[in-house]
Every structure is written in C-alpha cells, then in structure tokens.
Amino acid sequence: MRISGDVTVTTVEIQAENVDALNRMGVVAAQSRDFQRACQYFSRAAQVHDPRSVTSRAATLCNWGLALQELRRYEPALDAFDRAIACQADFAEAHFNRANVLKQLGRWEEAIRGYEHAVAIKPDYADAHCNLGVVQNDLQHLDNALASFDRAIAIDPENATAHCNKAFTLLLLGDFARGWPLYEWRWRLAVNANTYADRSVPALWLGDESLEGKTILLRSEQGLGDTLQFCRYTQPLSELGARVILEAQPSLLNLLADLDGISQLVAQGSTLPDADYRCPLMSLPLACGTRLSTIPRAHAYLNSDAAKTADWRARLDAHTRLRRGLPLVGLAWSGNATNSNDRNRSIPLADVVRHLPDNAQYISLQKEVRDDDARELAARGILNPSEDLFDFSDTAALCACMDLVISVDTSIAHLSGALGKTTWVLLPFSPSWRWLLGREDSPWYASVRLFRQDSPGDWHGVMRRVAARLKHHG
C-alpha cells in the first residue's frame, strides 16, 4: 500500500476543512495503520470542493481507496478508485490499485484488463507488470506470467517481488533447477527485512561446504505446513555427517522430538545454540540440489505418539455418537483466517458436508473452528474434539486413528501426508507451487491424492468428485 504525502499539519488547518491538511492527516493515520481513521480524513477531503486541481482530488480518492482496501471493504474501495479514474483517466496508479482489489476478489479477467491499462499508460510500471504476471499465473497462463515477470525485472532488476513470483511459477511447472535459486530473492522482500538480521553468524550453508563433523542449524521461516514439509531434510543432512539442530514452532516440538536425523530441537524465539552453519528450511531444496525425481522421504517420515494414539482410539471406540463399523474420515476445510490466501484455499464447512455420503463417520481435525462451522458440526453430528487438541502431537495421534484424511491446503494436509496416512487434498484452480499442475499424485507425499478445481472457485465440482470416490473407498 502506497499512501503518500507531507505529514506536517496544524489543528487550525483541520478545523478549516483544508483539503491538503485532511489528506496529510489521512496519511499519518494510514502510516500508523489506523485505516478507519484514515478513511474518515480522506472521506472528508473528498467532500470538500477544491477548484485547484483534479489531480489532487484523484490522489485523495486513490488514497481513500487504499485505506478501504486495507479494511477489506472492497466494493467501496473499487468505487473510490473509479471516482479517481473519472477525475484523471490517465492515472496509472488508480488503475493499478483498482486491479489489485479485483485480484483479491477473484475477478481475474477484470484485473488483467486493469493492469494492462496501467502499463499502457505507464510502460515502465514494474509493479503493474509484476501483478499482471501474478494474475496470469492464477489463470494458468504461465508463459504469459513468466513474460510479465521478465518485463518487470528488465525495468527494475532489483525487484525482489518479481523474482520471487517468477520462482513460484517455475516451481509450479516443476522447473526446480531455475526455481530454487530465484526463490532466494525472498530475503530481499520487505516482509523479511528483519528476519535473521545478522546473516553472518553462523555462515549460510547452501550445499557447497562439507558437513562432515559440522553442526548445522535449520531455521523454520514460514508457516507450520512449511516446517512439516521441509523438516524431512534432517535425515539426509545427518547422513552427510552433520550434527543437525532444528528450530521449530513451539506447537510442533512434541511431534518432531523423534524426527530422524535430529540431534537437538529448539523452540522458535528461544536462544539459539552455536553452530558452524545455518540454513533456512526452505533453502534446503536448493542446497541439496532437489529435483522432482530426487525429493527425499516421500513416504512417512513423522510418527504419532503411541500412547496418545492408543488413548484416542479408546476414546473413539467408546464415543456414543459414533456409528460402529464405518470408516473414520478426518476433515480439515479451512486454514488460518488471517492468511492472505484464505479466500482461495478455505471452504465453508456447509459446502463440504452437504456432498459427503453417509457411508463414513466424519471427525473434525481442526484446532481452530470458526463459529459458523462449529454450529454446522453440531447440527450434522460431526465430532469436534478441538478442545482436546493442544499441539500437533495430539492432532497427529488423532490423524493416526483415521482411515482417511480429507483436507484443504493447510498444515493438516502436510501433517497427514508426512505421517503416511491416506490423504485427499482439495486444491484451488491456482494451487501453491508445491502441488505442481496436472497430476493427482504428489512427489512430496506418496500417500496423497490431489483433487483440483477445474475452474476458479469451483469447489462444488471438487466435492462431487470426492463424494463419488468416497462411495467406493474401502
């Protein structure tokens, strides 16, 4: 978000309904992430008649749209950008910002037209070329996406976002040889500016030095699912002669305690031990030269706690609400609601269960259950043991009791796949790069089967295929 302007202002100016002053106060509020207050200032500024410049009014409306977008008030944001464009038709930034909102709403074709309009006005608009590539990638126009990213990079060779997005497209295509090196540009993204600030100690290992007799610290850098997917590399590094220390999120510590190849496990956020080398978990495929045919440990590499698993089996056997003799199917239908991709990957529970046949017993595997979904679970008589899932070792033990796990692309899918459980993963039309394209299997998890949308947003088609397969699942 780029709300800009001089922030010096006086109370007298505000009281006089001075347009410039109101704009500057809106900028101050937005920079403090008080977007509700920013909207109030920009709204007042837009209502004041300023005969001096339509350009100034267009900028006010554009800033207002950006603040509304941050509040996820997308339709009013679109209206603000439309009004800005009406004031100044060649306002490339307004076309760009409007397209960003359309992208968030999943209105991809309209977003493409908006980005194309922005770059027609301003051909050297690197961010617009880059975001055009993102939408082209979402629509699986992958050659066009790569061309857009290359144009952005040609304009701005230091554009880390363009490099990273190109990496995602290459990885989605299975081009690991070119994708992994480009993915290292993520460290130049603003969101990672304070991550591992001192990158000199210990030295970064990317596969060049021998690990024989050395200690290497592997650092979890992103989400829980990423840690679960890439912790598989501990054993291969141990086999190279390394003493392997793994830093992981606290909720994963019990689960990962007996992971093969680990010499020491430390909680993320705690004081880190000394090491000869460090490597972020998601740089390990680059360091190890991973290709589609050499992904390590595609079969089960995590284990559930035997005592916890036995306890869950006993509790499920004794539960009066469960029908006897039916296979147990675990469900995970949504991820973290604050995730920027949540709208694309999560499914309302009601849209899942209405397709499910009655030849199975369904159980929620989610720790976090949204209010509407909790009511749906109760109405459908689906067991919801979320209050007894204290960390991922508890969830792993419950997963181990399932005959089948059905999950959207969230940490449960990675957990179940790493446990070697039969797992069906429900994927949007534009999936994460790790699931590749055009295949029902995953080279990362031998026990996983993929169910993909045939068109953007078509979860009903996915669930119809899942239901048909469930009717014959033994």
Interval 346-384: pLDDT, tens: 999 999 999 999 989 999 999 999 889 999 999 998 999
Segments forming the whole domain that contains residue 73: 11-188
- Examine residue 2 and state whether it is found in any structural domain, yes or no: no
Mean pLDDT of the chain: 91
Q: What is the CATH number of the domain that holds 131?
A: 1.25.40.10
- Examine residue 406 and state whether it is found in any structural domain, yes or no: yes
Which pLDDT band holds residue 320 (cuts at 50, 70, 90)? Answer: low
Burial of 466 (0-12, 13-18, 19+ CB in 10 A): buried
Which pLDDT band holds residue 7 (cuts at 50, 70, 90)? Answer: very low
Same domain, 161 and 227: no
Same domain, 19 and 118: yes
pLDDT of residue 3: 58
Q: What is the CATH number of the domain that holds 342?
A: 3.40.50.2000
Which pLDDT band holds residue 173 (cuts at 50, 70, 90)? Answer: very high
Same domain, 364 and 216: no
Same domain, 249 and 124: no
User: Does the pLDDT of residue 8 top 60, yes or no?
Assistant: no
- Examine residue 361 and state whether it is found in any structural domain, yes or no: yes
**What are φ and ψ of residue 342, in 5° steps?**
-60, -40
User: Does the pLDDT of residue 322 top 80, yes or no?
Assistant: no
Q: How many domains does the chain have?
A: 3
Q: Which of 165, 188, 211 is the last residue of a domain?
A: 188
- Examine residue 88 and state whether it is found in any structural domain, yes or no: yes
Average pLDDT over residues 206-222: 96
Q: What is the pTM of this model?
A: 0.91
Same domain, 184 and 276: no
Quickly count: other Cβ atoms within 10 Å of residue 201's Cβ: 8
Q: Which of 144, 159, 188 is the last residue of a domain?
A: 188
Same domain, 408 and 285: no
- Examine residue 196 and state whether it is found in any structural domain, yes or no: no
- Examine residue 427 and state whether it is found in any structural domain, yes or no: yes
Average pLDDT over residues 90-117: 96
Average pLDDT over residues 23-28: 88
- Examine residue 61 and state whether it is found in any structural domain, yes or no: yes
Same domain, 64 and 140: yes
- Least confident stretch, 7-16, 264-273, 387-396: 7-16
Q: What is the CATH number of the domain that holds 234?
A: 3.40.50
Same domain, 219 and 358: no
Q: Select from 255, 172, 214, 184 the least CA-distant residue to 432.
A: 172
Same domain, 310 and 266: no
User: Does the pLDDT of residue 16 top 50, yes or no?
Assistant: no
- Least confident stretch, 137-146, 167-176, 464-473: 464-473
pLDDT of residue 472: 81
User: Does the pLDDT of residue 121 top 80, yes or no?
Assistant: yes
Q: What is the DSSP string of 384-448?
A: --GGG--SHHHHHHHHHT-SEEEEESSHHHHHHHHHT--EEEEE-SS--GGG-SS-SB-SS-TTE
Same domain, 214 and 173: no
Residues paired with residue 277 on neighbouring β-strands, in sequence order: 203, 216
pLDDT of residue 54: 72
- Examine residue 299 and state whether it is found in any structural domain, yes or no: no
Q: Which of 132, 158, 188 is the last residue of a domain?
A: 188
Same domain, 281 and 369: no
Same domain, 362 and 289: no
